[in-house]
Amino acid sequence: MLKYIRQHIHQPELLKLNIVAEKFHLSPTYAGRFFKRNFGEDFKQYIQKSRLKTVEDMLVGTQMSIKEISNRMGYTDPCYLNKLFQQYHNMTPLQYRKKYCGTHSPISEEK
């Protein structure tokens, strides 16, 4: 399941609990309990954290704009990504990029 999630992290429509459970011939209830028991968080939280980790990697490892990263990750609105990212990191994606890239990036924060 984890390999499937990693392979489809850019496709949020394929990372819904009922779809993943069906792919592995499990009931959604069992798959949900499995995640909670083995990872200490529910499936939705696990997916959200995994997607944000990929966003972090893209912020530091690419010169893509926030809008491009948002689109690539399947977020329908870059503002939503900004808000979600800020909730988890207490900084915007652009601030994160500046802090962890160590250089002042010419890329502006797009909304």
Residues 6+ apart with CB under 8 A from 98: 104, 105
The secondary structure of residue 12, as a DSSP letter, is G
Domains along the chain with CATH numbers = 1-101 (1.10.10.60)
62-110 pLDDT, tens per residue?
A: 999 999 999 999 998 999 999 999 999 999 999 999 999 865 444 444 4
Alpha carbon distances (Å) from 52 to 11, 22, 26, 45: 13, 25, 26, 11
Express each pLDDT in 65-78 by its tens digit.
999 999 999 998 99
